[in-house]
Amino acid sequence: MDEHNGPVGGQPLLTREILTLAAVFVLGASMTILDATIVNVALPTLGRDFRTSIATIQWVPTIYLLAFATVIPASGWATERFGARRVWITSLALFLAGSLGCGLCGSVAVLICFRVVQGIGGGMIIPVGQAILARAAGPQRMGRVMSIVGVPLLLGPVVGPVIGGALISAASWRWIFFVNVPVGALALALALRLLPDTPRSPAKLDVPGLVLLSGGIAAFLYGLAEIGAGTAGGALPGVAMATGLAMVAAFCWYAVRARKPLIDLRLLRSRGFAAGAAANLMLGIALFGVALLLPLYLEIVRGRSPLQTGLLLIPQGLGAALVMPVAGALTDRIGARPVVTGGVLVALAGIAAYTQLTAATSYWYLAVALLLIGAGMGATITPAMAAAFGAIDRRAIPAATAAIGTIQRIAGSLGTALLAVTLQHAIGARLPGFGGSITGAAALAHADPARALPAMADAFGATFWVALGLTAASLVAALALPGRPAARQPSAGAQEPSAAMQDPLAGAQEPPAATQDPPAAAQEPSAATQTRHDPEAAGARR
């Protein structure tokens, strides 16, 4: 029995079923992650082809993010009402239809409309897929499974610019959308054959919750996008953000009183889930915001092409890929708290190095710092997610995945907009002639490099200080995560009693598993009976 596939309580950590589900999930989910970043390198080309302004063309990535975040909260209800398999397959088919429409479109208005279709389909692929995997893995294998699926999902934002730059250079911008079709078709065929059916219940859609939360998220992200792009004047962005916050606050007030809210905020009563959600929020704001700064620095200050920039970002993905499997194994063994805390400290070291940027910083220096940031990401995001899932009952997993997915998208958007605004103000303070746009910064760098490049490099360094502070703040949430897991105490005739104690309703929820192991189910009647009488007590004990 090796380290990666050794048994836990007599059961293998990574069964063929789990690996198969993970492969199908990764195929579908990686496309939605790539589409959030692969378009960025194509924006200048799109603006020229459609003869439109930057203010208009920036909606190509923004509208995708808005649609993506808006549908995530409904994923828990959809999973319970229609079954995870049916929802995942339908979402993937919708994403593929949107991709095909984007590639065939003849105007920017049609392109933006099909980006909405893409976002609606892509928004449910990740949370519903995570729910399928979490149900199959169980709490004992959560850290390892999340680390496996997390590697390609973290690599997506890194390789996206590389793929986008290569496709635009070799073919045309349309292929950044067409490339989804064959990959998605393969994922769809595998899903139709391999994804298991899941229990369904006559769940009722929480329409007031959907309007308040999804509408609030959309309004808030709209305001952030307008501030980050610098295209809207007056009070509109502030009003949109205030309205969004008010709607989200109203949802929180409503959700703690509703019998079956869209997202059950009572999950936050579990310390492990609350800490995991908070860690994902703070880390997402800091680390995904950093992903905006690095390409801008490399392209504006150092004059690299989109393809060269993508290649220079590879150390981040490499660091995440090397560390994440180890972090997942350590999370299962020693708990999430020491793993995530250590990862935050490693990421802090990498971000601190970027606060000292100049216009001629060595590329080796940049690569080593980026490797540390990637390693920190690999040791924080998915272990914190695994801790959140491991702290709740399996019945709450669909709602929990919707909550975590929404938090991650909000965090990424908030971090991007916050650091974009910070960078814009920092450059403006150092270069009086700066007009606020990336085009203006590039023009200044070309016209007067001796003055502009050192000033802009200094502005990037100042912005990284903000990212450093945000990352340091995530230590509070990391220290609140669960520590070392309780030791498993085997009992005679039971292969995995600790898992049964953690999830006494697993037999009731998954009849095939209970049928395969009837003696184990019969040995713990008191635990099952107790949980049936007090279904929320199990979640509270976690």
Q: What is the pLDDT of residue 149?
A: 67
State how far the Cα of 110 lies from the Cα of 105, in Å rounded to an integer: 6
pLDDT beneath 50: ranges in the chain:
1-10, 486-542
Q: What is the pLDDT of residue 24?
A: 83
C-beta of residue 439 within 8 angstroms of C-beta of residue 300: no
**What residue segments make up the domains of the chain, in order of their start?**
16-197, 206-261, 268-483+525-542
C-beta of residue 203 within 8 angstroms of C-beta of residue 260: yes
What does the CA dihedral 189, 85, 24, 61 come to, rounded to 10 degrees?
Answer: 100
Please tell me the class of the 16-197 domain: mainly alpha
Q: What is the pLDDT of residue 532?
A: 37
Express each pLDDT in 309-344 by its tens digit.
778 878 887 888 788 878 878 887 888 888 999 999
Encoded tokens for 119:
């976002």
C-beta of residue 273 within 8 angstroms of C-beta of residue 392: yes
Encoded tokens for 253:
């007030």
User: Of the candidates 150, 133, 140, 173, which has an alpha carbon nearest to the alpha carbon of residue 39?
Assistant: 173
Q: What is the pLDDT of residue 349?
A: 94
Q: What is the pLDDT of residue 489?
A: 41
Superfamily of domain 268-483+525-542: MFS general substrate transporter like domains (1.20.1250.20)
Note whether 16-197 and 268-483+525-542 share their fold.
yes
Q: How many residues does the chain have?
A: 542
C-beta of residue 144 within 8 angstroms of C-beta of residue 332: yes
